[in-house]
Amino acid sequence: MLEADNLECLRGDNRLFAGLGFTLAPGELIYLQGRNGAGKTSLLRMLIGLLPPESGDIRWQGESIGKQRDEYHAALCYLGHHNAIKEELTPLENFHHAARFAGQDMDEDAALDALAQVGLAGREDLPCRYLSQGQKRRVALARLVVDRRPLWVLDEPFVALDVAAVDWLAQIISAHLQRGGMAIMTTHQAVEIPAGAVRELRIG
Amino acid sequence: MLEADNLECLRGDNRLFAGLGFTLAPGELIYLQGRNGAGKTSLLRMLIGLLPPESGDIRWQGESIGKQRDEYHAALCYLGHHNAIKEELTPLENFHHAARFAGQDMDEDAALDALAQVGLAGREDLPCRYLSQGQKRRVALARLVVDRRPLWVLDEPFVALDVAAVDWLAQIISAHLQRGGMAIMTTHQAVEIPAGAVRELRIG
Amino acid sequence: MIDRFNLYRFASPATFYPLAGKLIPWFAAAGVLFGLVGLYIGMLVAPTDFQQGEGYRIIFIHVPTSWMSMFIYLVMAFWAAIGLAFNTRLSGMMAQALAPTGALMAFLSLWTGALWGKPMWGTWWVWDARLTSELILLFLYIGYMALVAAIDDPRRADKAGGILLLVGVVNIPIIYFSVKWWNTLHQGSSVNLTKSSMAEIMLWGMLLMALAFWMYAIAVALARVRTLMLERERNAEWVRKMLSEENA
Amino acid sequence: MIYWNSFADFLAMGGYGLYVWGSFGVTALVMVAEPILVARNQRASVARLKRQLRAEQRAESRSPAA
Amino acid sequence: MLKIIFSVIARDLQLAMRRQADIVSALFFFVIVVSLFPLGIGPETDLLRKLAPGVLWVAALLATMLSLPRLFADDHRDGTLEQLALSPYPLGLIVTGKTIAHWLVSGLPLALIAPILGVQFDLAADALWVLTLTILIGTPALSGIGAIGAALTLGLRGGGVLLSLLVLPLYIPVLIFGAGAVEATVSGLGGDGHLSLLAAMTTAAIGFAPWASAAALKIALE
Amino acid sequence: MLKIIFSVIARDLQLAMRRQADIVSALFFFVIVVSLFPLGIGPETDLLRKLAPGVLWVAALLATMLSLPRLFADDHRDGTLEQLALSPYPLGLIVTGKTIAHWLVSGLPLALIAPILGVQFDLAADALWVLTLTILIGTPALSGIGAIGAALTLGLRGGGVLLSLLVLPLYIPVLIFGAGAVEATVSGLGGDGHLSLLAAMTTAAIGFAPWASAAALKIALE
Ligand code: HEM
Ligand SMILES: Nc1ncnc2c1ncn2[C@@H]1O[C@H](COP(=O)(O)OP(=O)(O)OP(=O)(O)O)[C@@H](O)[C@H]1O
Ligand SMILES: Nc1ncnc2c1ncn2[C@@H]1O[C@H](COP(=O)(O)OP(=O)(O)OP(=O)(O)O)[C@@H](O)[C@H]1O
Ligand SMILES: [Mg+2]
Ligand SMILES: [Mg+2]
């Protein structure tokens, strides 16, 4: 369970939001909304502990996230604006490295399987430089196929994806919620998540 | 009059378009359309002479643009994806430098006037670093207020602007066309240009 | 409990800003006073040094500036440690406010030392341990100021500058001893800083001058920290109130 | 009490005048310049912030109270 | 613990291999700077022999320094650094891995080519040997300290020059003991004292610097 | 003609003033590198005096070189370079302006501080004077040639190191004549010949290099 209490965010001179709080229980999805520059990305970065809030508190399983950094990170999967893939490496290599840094070793078959699921079959060994924008995004998303960590934090995951891939990702998120996972995500597209308790949160 | 004949564009291994041609006469606007990555920006960069076409010819007033570079540039105003402003300088300074590089010296009053028109009154002396995305775009657009060159090439000029500013810019473009100017632009937003002969051109 | 409360009140910019404003004239006056007496003793009363002639009078500036340049760096590192440990807003500003003064002190130490070295050693500069480490200290100051200036967000600037200061302060003794070693191993020291037992009156002059520089540094740093505070807290209620009151 | 015999002696500093006065002069210069600069920065800051505050207040009073 | 360090090293080395330019350029910079000196100073052998340790060490220092800006910049730009900071391992360990990889790519090759360049300066065999050894022992400290500077200047305007400003003063002890060891050997005094101090500094740098870098990285990510 | 050059210079200087760090950092890099050498080589005054011209010149060269990557990179990133290329003036003139501004910011300060550093190496007054003069005359050539390299590597991966690789070989003649003039003066031979060659090279570089840079920039903009 993730709880945020009375969060305040200052960037430069702007107070982006203040007094923001919510609770995210297993099986729930929070759909974060707001205009450009409202502070959605800033809020997500606070939640994952990269941006210290001006005031307020964020608790994971009842304890402040600052006090249990490594445990919290082990429970957390974040996908940001950037894909975090290396253009020089192949999708397979990228996937392996990402899994290893997340503390989850992966055998070859499982990796190939995940890549095939995101539609990259046949491209596992092509350097990512040659992939299209959408395919690059898919390399990053492949992690979600095998990820069993309880909390997903997704910043505009649908960007650059085509319609089929958007549907596929919505399914993946639903499955995660049905397994008792939690998720918080932002998106400017209207996407229907078929299962799980979806709640909207508007900032700015 | 701007004429393009049988243009072909290759990027890496992809042929983005081939056999593309059009004529742009005074008072006309070409509205360039196509999906992301179709080659719109590439085409505009060909038209302004920064990207040599694989084959085909571009003529300004009947003569190939490669043969009259400086004259052509003197007749041309280009606005790209980037704003071409310096974050360290103020809007006023940026505007002055831009005008000077375009060969048009500007007195203080005219500059302040143009900036006021784009809604930057009171911010003329604040470094652009502190401006919002939309305000930065407006600094770049302020040039159009005073620009009397016949050919405008605008790459997604409406990006980051709010509704009022979009209307304002549409007016500016109309006025340009009514003065006998020419324009070619791309945009993903549907914007109504109130006057002038508007033509669509679809690529990809 | 009451202590804690007071400390936090003191450390809050809204309280500290006017307090600093009131303190500055006192420190400045003390600085001028000590300086005048020190100069009087050092320049007019103190007799000549039997080894160095009148040239030794540079000592009345050289030693205080050298001390201050090192001491200010330590103070900055102290504030940096406090800032990183307790996340207080004031500490970063204090470190930043001290830096230019520290750099100037280091520069003056080098300048007066060079002007002293020419008549005493016959050269403006030697690559001696003390001199070299003072030069490096100047670089550390400049590096710190450049780093802080390059970061837009003041809180980030404070933290990054703090790390640099702490790394630097660990390095200063290492640098000093490495240079000393390098120098002494390589060749017998051609340079002897004359350690003549100073006449008591000279010592008094020097101590007074050191006090004067100290007061000066405090006054200037307080003045600078006020500016920093104003800029950083420009949207805070107390600044707005103060500015509009002064308006009226 | 005073060590020097004449003002000229004082200026000559036993032949070290250039070095001694060079040191004291530059130090004096620096120690006068620094406070002046600091004070000027402070005044400039206050003036600019006041100007911004006034501009803001004017903008607020002009905008329709919605 | 060790596993995450090895994973990071493996990935960074793989990347360096793919890019190639990385390894070759640091090395070439070293070679070019060292070769510039005889051009700037003149061809007297005696003089050059005296200079050799200093010049080679300064060049090694500059070559290492020039490769620093990219140490974290690429990972920062493409979002990998965030992911690393969010991994369930302490960031200090990850930085340790990246520092070691940086040394393998930018320090080790210098040590390997140093003897050849030393010969150009007419150094004797024992001096060559000590020179190689000092560069081998000293460059890890350069990588470690440099990583702090790279992390502090990550994403800043004009970061490259600022980085050198921050890092060079901190490099000085390494330079002095490194060049000092060679000089002591050349002059027959024996460089053992210098060498052990160098080793001590490297150990300290490798152990302590990654945590300072990690703290700086967290600030850069805010 | 002249007006556009002055406009460009004025803008670039204004930017440098706003950033401050730019000017200060190139200068301090120079100072630091020069100060490193005595640390690497040892404090013997005689030796240092012999080295001074070479060391100062190599340092000037490196300092100029390190400030090169940003010469066009900022303008490229924010789209200003496109606008400059589209202005009705020849791009070569604009590059001339940028080169001059670069020299004013990164070359001239070196010349101004060189005498102070020369004093640290115990150079005599006439040698100091010639040293300053050579740096004053020689650095424009460095800026001019460097601009070509900066334009050629604009937007490339690992551009910084690649840039030094391209530019350093071309800097060698400047280095040789620059340091040579000072040495000739120190040894009493008189450095006039060297100086006039240096002046000739600078004139050629300032006249010719901007047009080569302009051509390279057009390629980078494609
Ligand atoms: C650029 C040249 C010089 C620099 C950077 C320099 C630096 C320093 C520093 C950092 C100190 C304080 C160290 C301490 O208190 O332990 C100091 C103290 C002192 N210096 Fe210098 N110095 C220079 C030249 C000279 C010269 C030429 C002389 C005299 C011939 C001199 C005489 C002294 C004396 C007497 C002290 C006081 C020592 C003490 O109180 O322990 N210095 N200098
Ligand atoms: N250093 C700074 N100084 C001033 N304002 C800043 C600074 N950094 C960020 N901001 C502002 O904070 C906001 C950051 O917004 P954030 O990236 O969280 O928006 P978002 O809701 O994710 O937007 P988007 O939908 O475009 O992704 C922006 O309005 C930006 O202008
Ligand atoms: N060096 C290259 N190698 C391979 N493909 C390239 C290369 N450079 C560009 N491309 C491709 O050329 C196309 C360039 O498209 P362009 O920027 O003209 O698109 P656009 O229509 O302006 O798109 P948008 O609407 O996103 O602005 C892209 O599809 C891109 O992938
Ligand atoms: Mg966002
Ligand atoms: Mg486009």
In this prediction, residues C145-158 reach a mean pLDDT of 88
Q: Is C150 on the interface with F (CB under 8 A)?
A: yes
In-domain check, residue C6: no
In this prediction, residues B72-101 reach a mean pLDDT of 89
**How far, in Å, CA of C144 to CA of C163, rounded?**
10
Query: With pLDDT > 90 as the criterion, what percentage of chain F qualifies?
Result: 34
Identity of the highest mean pLDDT range in B41-55, C72-86, F30-44, F51-65: C72-86
In-domain check, residue C245: no
**How far, in Å, CA of E70 to CA of E83, rounded?**
18
User: Is B98 a residue whose pLDDT tops 80?
Assistant: yes
Of the listed ranges B84-88, B115-119, F44-48, the one predicted with least confidence = F44-48
Neighbours of A125 (CB within 10 A): 9
Q: Which two tokens stand for residue B3?
A: 């004429």
Tell me the C-alpha to C-alpha distance, in Å, between residue A70 and each of A76, C114, C196, E11, E221.
Answer: 10, 54, 60, 22, 17
Of the listed ranges B56-60, E20-24, E110-114, F95-99, the one predicted with least confidence = E20-24
C164 lines ligand 1 (CB under 6 A): no
Q: Which ipTM did the prediction report?
A: 0.79
Q: What spacing in Å lies between the alpha carbon of B53 and ligand 5's midpoint?
A: 17
Chains that touch F (3 or more CB pairs under 8 A): B, C, E
Q: Residue C189 has what pLDDT?
A: 42
Residues A15, A9 contacting (CB under 8 angstroms): yes
Domains detected in chain A: 1-75+150-204 (3.40.50.300), 86-148 (no CATH)
pLDDT grade, residue C4 (50/70/90)? very low
Task: Look up residue F62 and give its amino acid.
Answer: L
Domain count, chain D: 1
C235 lines ligand 2 (CB under 6 A): no
Check CB contact under 8 Å for F19 and B76. Answer: no
For the segment B146-181, what is each residue's pLDDT rounded down to a tens digit? 888 999 999 888 876 777 788 889 999 999 999 999
Q: Which two tokens stand for residue F34?
A: 């020069």
Check CB contact under 8 Å for E18 and A89. Answer: yes
User: Is A36 a residue whose pLDDT tops 80?
Assistant: no
Residues C125, C190 contacting (CB under 8 angstroms): no
Average pLDDT of chain F is: 87
3-state helix, strand, coil in chain D (%, to 5): 85, 0, 15
Check CB contact under 8 Å for A36 and B132. Answer: no
Q: Residue C10 has what pLDDT?
A: 57
- The CA-CA-CA angle for residues F70, F73, F77, to 5°, reads 140
Q: Cα-flanking dihedrals φ and ψ of residue A198, to 5°? A: -100, 130
Instruction: Indicate the DSSP class of residue C196.
Output: P
C-alpha B23: how far from chain center: 17
Residues F175, F61 contacting (CB under 8 angstroms): yes
In-domain check, residue D4: no
Q: Residue D66 has what pLDDT?
A: 36
In-domain check, residue C244: no
Check CB contact under 8 Å for C140 and E219. Answer: no
User: Is A129 a residue whose pLDDT tops 70?
Assistant: yes
Please tell me the residue having the least CA distance from ligand 2 atom 29: A37
Please tell me the residue having the least CA distance from ligand 3 atom 13: B37
User: Is E140 a residue whose pLDDT tops 50?
Assistant: yes
Q: Residue C125 has what pLDDT?
A: 82
pLDDT grade, residue F146 (50/70/90)? very high
User: Is E1 a residue whose pLDDT tops 60?
Assistant: yes
- F121: Cβ–Cβ under 8 A, 6 or more apart, which residues? F38, F48, F49, F51, F52, F55, F56
* Predicted TM-score (pTM) of this structure: 0.81
Q: Residue F98 has what pLDDT?
A: 94
User: Is F159 a residue whose pLDDT tops 70?
Assistant: no
Check CB contact under 8 Å for C150 and E162. Answer: yes
Neighbours of E38 (CB within 10 A): 18
Chains F and D touch (3+ CB pairs under 8 A): no
For the segment C156-188, what is each residue's pLDDT rounded down to a tens digit? 899 999 999 999 998 888 888 877 777 665 444
Report the nearest atom of ligand 1 relative to the CA of C67: 12
pLDDT grade, residue C34 (50/70/90)? very high
User: Is C192 a residue whose pLDDT tops 60?
Assistant: no
User: Is C37 a residue whose pLDDT tops 90?
Assistant: yes
**How far, in Å, CA of E120 to CA of E123, rounded?**
8
Burial class (CB in 10 A: 0-12, 13-18, 19+), B60: buried
Nearest chain F CA: its distance from C127 CA (Å) = 5
Instruction: Indicate the DSSP class of residue C198.
Output: P
Residues E63, E30 contacting (CB under 8 angstroms): yes
Q: Residue C235 has what pLDDT?
A: 80
For the segment C85-98, what is each residue's pLDDT rounded down to a tens digit? 988 888 999 999 99
- E89: Cβ–Cβ under 8 A, 6 or more apart, which residues? A70, A103, E1, E4
- Label the pairing between strands B151-155 and B182-186: parallel
Residue of A nearest to C153 (CA): A12
pLDDT grade, residue C248 (50/70/90)? very low
Average pLDDT of chain E is: 87
Residue closest to F42 by CA, chosen among E136, C188, E30, E114: C188
Check CB contact under 8 Å for F42 and C125. Answer: no
Q: Residue B109 has what pLDDT?
A: 86
**Residues B44, B48, B54, B59, CA torsion sign:** positive
Q: Residue C1 has what pLDDT?
A: 37
Domain that holds residue F142: 2-221
* Residue to substitute in B7, B9, B10, B11 for testing ligand 3 pocket (most ligand atoms within 8 angstroms of CB): B11
Domain that holds residue D55: 26-66
Q: Is F156 on the interface with E (CB under 8 A)?
A: no
For the segment E80-116, what is each residue's pLDDT rounded down to a tens digit? 999 999 988 999 999 999 999 999 998 999 999 999 9
In this prediction, residues F111-123 reach a mean pLDDT of 89
Task: Look up residue E175 and give its amino acid.
Answer: L
Q: Which two tokens stand for residue B134?
A: 């939309």
Q: Is C168 on the interface with E (CB under 8 A)?
A: yes
User: Is C8 a residue whose pLDDT tops 60?
Assistant: no
User: Is E23 a residue whose pLDDT tops 80?
Assistant: no
Check CB contact under 8 Å for F87 and B85. Answer: no
In this prediction, residues A131-158 reach a mean pLDDT of 87
Check CB contact under 8 Å for C182 and F35. Answer: no
pLDDT grade, residue F182 (50/70/90)? confident
Residue closest to C57 by CA, chosen among C36, C41, C42: C42
Helix (H, G, I), strand (E, B), or coil: what is residue A14?
Answer: strand
Please tell me the residue having the least CA distance from ligand 1 atom 39: C63
Average pLDDT of chain B is: 86
Of the listed ranges C203-212, F40-49, F125-134, F177-186, the one predicted with least confidence = F40-49
Q: In which residue are the tokens 């850069």 written?
A: E220
- F144: Cβ–Cβ under 8 A, 6 or more apart, which residues? F99, F202, F205, F206, F208, F209, F210
Q: Residue B36 has what pLDDT?
A: 62
Residues E145, E209 contacting (CB under 8 angstroms): yes
- F58: Cβ–Cβ under 8 A, 6 or more apart, which residues? E33, E36, E37, E40, F33, F175, F179
CB < 8 Å to C227, chain D: 38, 41-42, 45
Which site among C115, C213, C246 would you substitute to test the D interface, given the most D Cβ atoms closer than 10 Å to its Cβ?
C115
In this prediction, residues F16-34 reach a mean pLDDT of 78
What residues of chain D score a pLDDT lower than 50? 65-66
- Label the pairing between strands A2-11 and A55-60: antiparallel
Angle between helices A133-146 and A91-101 (to 10 degrees): 40
Chains A and B touch (3+ CB pairs under 8 A): yes
Tell me the C-alpha to C-alpha distance, in Å, between residue A81 and each of A45, A146, A186.
Answer: 11, 20, 11
First to last CA, chain F: 26
Q: Which two tokens stand for residue F198?
A: 């240096």
- D66: Cβ–Cβ under 8 A, 6 or more apart, which residues? none
CB < 8 Å to A13, chain C: 234-235
Q: Residue E192 has what pLDDT?
A: 81
Residues F39, F81 contacting (CB under 8 angstroms): no
Chains that touch B (3 or more CB pairs under 8 A): A, F
* Residue to substitute in B9, B40, B44, B188 for testing ligand 3 pocket (most ligand atoms within 8 angstroms of CB): B40
User: Is C76 a residue whose pLDDT tops 80?
Assistant: yes
Domain that holds residue C144: 19-46+53-237
For the segment A68-89, what is each residue's pLDDT rounded down to a tens digit? 888 899 999 999 878 889 988 9
pLDDT grade, residue E161 (50/70/90)? confident
Domain count, chain E: 1
In-domain check, residue D45: yes
For the segment C44-71, what is each residue's pLDDT rounded down to a tens digit? 877 777 777 777 888 899 999 999 999 9
* Residue to substitute in A10, A13, A14 for testing ligand 2 pocket (most ligand atoms within 8 angstroms of CB): A14
Q: Is C237 on the interface with A (CB under 8 A)?
A: no
- D12: Cβ–Cβ under 8 A, 6 or more apart, which residues? none
Q: Is A83 on the interface with E (CB under 8 A)?
A: yes
